Structure 1
Amino acid sequence: MPNPKLPSDHDSIYASTQPTQTSFSAPPLTPLTLEGYREHTKIRLLSPQLAEEIRHLLPLRLQLYDTWRLCYSLEQHGVSLTTLYNMSVPPRGTSRPGYILIVEDKLGGIFGAYMNEYPHPTKNGRYYGNGECFLWKSKVINSTPLATFPYTGINDYMILCDPGFLSVGGGDGKYGIYIDDRFEKGISNSCPAFGNEPLSDAGFKFEIVGVEIWRISSK
């Protein structure tokens, strides 16, 4: 029966110099602060819990920011798509901010979109945004907090805005979210850009109760 091989000094030295695997986990994120609600604002669409759920779906660079700022609220700023556009413009010197659109329908449903650029009208019906964008639907009533619909890669129809409407997601004549300038009626269809289900439980047409835009940035 052959003798088992004993480790040589060379073997021992080699083994001791090999890197060992260590588990690495990112440090926990600082809890979010939501800035912008007035003291007497009744309709508040974004709760801290919902914000944290959305936060973990954002690009890593934005997850590190612990303050989200309210740009526009239908209750606080009135019915004006122009006001929404104007108040969403980022401060000068802000680098690569992100934006959260939140809509509440008459049934109490909460849903929206993440946009990597601020909502603004474009000339000649030009879409903008990139594959970071996604649609989401709150399902806090169920066991799953959020249903999310990321970019499919089928087309580049992310964000389209003009003075008469705001929309996110498109293709085949359908919109993931569409809001007119009166903030009364909205549309949410399954669209090729995100492969989403209609975000409102009311169907592809819904009545709007609230709209908010939040900015995620360093200032």
Structure 2
Amino acid sequence: MEPAEDDHSRNASTSSLPLFSAPPLTPLTIDGYRERTKTRLLTRELAEEIRHLLPLRLQLYDTWRLCYSLEQHGVSITTLYNQCVPPRGASRPGYVLLVEDKAGGIFGAYLNEYPHPTKNGRYYGNGECFLWKSKVIPPLATAASAANGKDSDAAFPYTGINDYMILCEPFFLSVGGGDGKFGLYLDDRFEKGTSNSCPAFGNEALSDEGPKFSIVGVEVWRVSSI
């Protein structure tokens, strides 16, 4: 029989164990592309990068569902709005917007509410929202460091300067605002867009084409339990 472990040894061995270890996330499934769809903006690798920037409650969901694709659903901002209405039973879903420009750049936003037009030009959304551009995306910087232009140049979180998160109208969709500029703006025909530094996110222009860019593709993905 081995000698009994004394209290000191037992405490020493257990104190080195982590108090909490989050379980690994299950691999993502991206669901919704048709077999003949040629323009596919979201890869599983990019989805995994964005996943780690989402609120923790959404990181646990392992299936992202396509709500809208410019190729699959046609050129209509009204269709995009209608396709993004969450189904009954979807608890606090999140939405990932992707845009491809003519130069081949992929960028977009995370929206904590589904995109929809509002009365009287009212902004909505909260500090979970962020802008991003497709690079190797590190964890989100703090609001203070983002406001000072430090850390990641690929993910741009809420700065706390204003509450201009999401503004959608029948003729455009935009994310981020202030000082008369939009962090990301798409026209209703999905032909032209703009991206400027805005106080809400302290971002750089998302498109390498510059503040104005030509749109090649648009997608919106829902992250939820159903």
User: What secondary structure does 2:80 align onto?
Assistant: helix
Judged with a 3 Å threshold, the aligned counterparts in structure 2 of structure 1 residues 13 and 215 are, in CA distance, closer, same or farther, namely closer
2:6 is the alignment partner of 1:20:
no
TM-score, with length taken from structure 2: 0.86
Structure 1 unaligned residues grouped into runs of 5+: 1-11
* C-alpha deviation, 1:74, in angstroms: 0.3
After superposition, residues 127-138 of structure 1 pair within 5 angstroms as: 127-138=123-134
SS of the residue corresponding to residue 154 of structure 2 reads strand
Amino acid in structure 2 at the alignment position of 1:195: G
1:138–1:146 contact (8 Å) kept in structure 2: no
Quote the Cα distance in structure 2 between the aligned partners of 1:105 and 1:17: 58
Deviation string 1:156-206 (CA, Å, 9 cap, x unpaired) is: 000000100000000001001000101000000000000000000000000
Q: Which amino acid aligns with 2:53?
A: L
2:82 aligned residue: 86
Q: Secondary structure at the match of 1:215?
A: strand
- Return the match for 1:98 from 94, 110, 126: 94
CA distance in 2 between partners of 1:75 and 1:146 (Å): 29
Q: Is residue 51 from structure 1 mapped to residue 47 from structure 2 by the alignment? A: yes
For the residue of structure 2 that corresponds to 1:103, the secondary structure is strand
Q: Which residue of 2 is the match for residue 193 of structure 1?
A: 200
Kindly state the Cα deviation for residue 20 of structure 1 after the two structures are TM-superposed.
1.9
How far the C-alpha of 1:139 sits from its partner, in A, is: 2.1
Gaps of 5+ in 2: 1-5, 137-151
Render the CA deviation track for 1:14-68: whole Å, top value 9, x for unaligned: 8866862412421111110011000000000000000000000100100000000
Counterpart residue identity of residue 138, structure 1 = S
Tell me if the contact between 1:176 and 1:194 (Cα under 8 Å) persists in the aligned partners.
yes
Paired residue for 1:155, among 146, 157, 162?
162
Q: Which amino acid aligns with 1:20?
A: S
The higher radius of gyration belongs to: 1
Q: TM-score, normalised by structure 1?
A: 0.89
**Alignment correspondent of 1:8:** none
Please tell me the root mean square deviation across aligned C-alpha atoms, in Å. Answer: 1.7
Return the alpha-carbon distance in structure 1 between the equivalents of residues 153 and 114 of structure 2: 23
- Equivalent position amino acid for 1:178 in 2: Y
Q: How many equivalent pairs are there?
A: 204
Q: Identity, % of aligned pairs?
A: 79
8 Å Cα contact 2:153/2:204 also seen in 1: no
Q: 1 CA distance for matches of 2:11 and 2:58?
A: 39
In the TM superposition, what are the counterparts of 1:29-178 in structure 2 within 5 Å?
A: 29-139=25-135, 147-178=154-185
